[in-house]
Structure 1
């Protein structure tokens, strides 16, 4: 096993060095040995392979409504998740991400002043969305999943994206409109998530049992419920004393690597 891990690390270093040479971002959140089954790495990417400056400064996360959060970084970059144009940050965001399960998760007419509009789906048949974008101090990438077709009832491959935002040493993940449990390959591609934005709706995405298994597997320090609050109690009932639960006094959460809770905390935004 030790030899396997050593070879995996050597391969990762080589790939990361090549990526740097091509000015391609290198994730600090992904596991270094994605092909080793059953192994979970908390954080193992050498810092000198990360082209984005790592900082312990504060990141502000504001729940705006439904599945939209605003993420404001130490350098002032503003990101809005599952942006539909109805829930807007205090200032025009630099980056918006979207998913297409419902019109409440996207808009086809975003403000033209938004620098990056990242769709969680591809408009080209047979392809999937693939985003690797660096904006200021933030690296944005995605991991695609399938979605249910409301017309046929079948599954559309790669129609949804889990977006991951890497900033100030934090790995922040937004599950989007996730319709199925994740495979080991998904978890390896996602890597470590310190903060997780998870849809809680009792079945419009997935039932509480299935969604809770994903949350437990990712084992993020801070879990932020979103989407539809009606089934929140059912979701919370899936967790034991290993997870703390608290309701925030504000819709804005200020967090850094130093202030992450010691135990996983399900932190409910005030207006959710």
Structure 2
């Protein structure tokens, strides 16, 4: 019985798991600047061309990230992505609120990556999946009683197709120099722009400008009012593209020459009617 429980816990929450596949991806240029920094395929999901990445804004802070060989990764996974019968290969989670994680991920998911470990200790992930490398950088969060939990959140980074794609999670503070260095150069970043539940807008704008990403995808906005306030704060230095849809295909060869905010409209992954 004890062995069964241990095996189940390892399936649900593998700590710092490393897949054993050899890397088989175009190297990204987001190598960390400091050393020693700690699925199933369904025909209804789109095919992705080689050296491209498919991004779909599911809801709130959840995105589907899909590789050209059909690896499916979902960020800030809550256990629900829509009515499509869909089992991701990798899910990442953060625990600031229950809209960013689930205590009961499907045991069929091969890699469940919580963004926290024991209280105050954080966690380190470096999952090598051949065409994709998934890693994290720990940050602090405000605790339930207005204190601070060290390393209670993770920024997850997906290196694939020569790109470095970052998801800031439920970020509660401006990263320090060491954390920025550990992130490296993010080509695409998904940033919470609610203006208060995570960072204030001035602080988030500071973070985004420091990252100097080619594509910024706003997330975690609760109204067009909040989204509009963020977009006005970014005027001048960033172009804004209203995609009008939940999905976007990105590639290293087609990154915009000027930093650009791509506004996606969230939609669950539903079975077509």
Q: Give the TM-score normalised by the residue count of structure 2.
A: 0.78
Whether 1:202 aligns to 2:195 is yes
Question: Quick one: which of 119, 126, 146 aligns to 1:132?
Answer: 126
Distance 2:62 2:23 in 1: 28
Question: Quick one: which of 164, 167, 186 aligns to 2:157?
Answer: 164
Whether 1:60 aligns to 2:54 is yes
User: What residue is the counterpart of 2:228 in the other structure?
Assistant: 233
Distance 1:24 1:156 in 2: 34
User: What residue is the counterpart of 1:73 in the other structure?
Assistant: 67
SS of match in other structure, 1:104: helix
Question: Quick one: which of 247, 250, 257 aligns to 2:245?
Answer: 250
User: What residue is the counterpart of 2:116 in the other structure?
Assistant: 121
Whether 1:97 aligns to 2:112 is no
Gaps of at least 5 residues in structure 1 are 1-22, 36-54
For residues 88 and 144 of structure 1, do their structure 2 counterparts lie closer, same or farther at Cα, with a shift above 3 Å needed? Answer: farther
Distance 1:31 1:224 in 2: 22
Moved over 6 A (4+): 23-27
SS of match in other structure, 1:237: helix
Question: Quick one: which of 256, 262, 270 aligns to 2:257?
Answer: 262
Question: Quick one: which of 129, 139, 143 aligns to 2:137?
Answer: 143
Question: Quick one: which of 73, 82, 98 aligns to 2:76?
Answer: 82
What is the CA-CA distance between 1:126 and the residue it aligns to?
A: 4.5
User: What residue is the counterpart of 1:44 in the other structure?
Assistant: none
2:28/2:163 contact within 8 Å kept: no
Distance 1:82 1:132 in 2: 17
Q: Give the TM-score normalised by the residue count of structure 1.
A: 0.79
Whether 1:218 aligns to 2:211 is yes
For residues 89 and 236 of structure 1, do their structure 2 counterparts lie closer, same or farther at Cα, with a shift above 3 Å needed? Answer: farther
What is the CA-CA distance between 1:67 and the residue it aligns to?
A: 0.2
1:56/1:257 contact within 8 Å kept: no
For residues 109 and 238 of structure 1, do their structure 2 counterparts lie closer, same or farther at Cα, with a shift above 3 Å needed? Answer: same
Bigger relative contact order (CA 8 A; separation at least 6): 2
Question: Quick one: which of 166, 181, 188 aligns to 1:188?
Answer: 181
SS of match in other structure, 1:112: coil
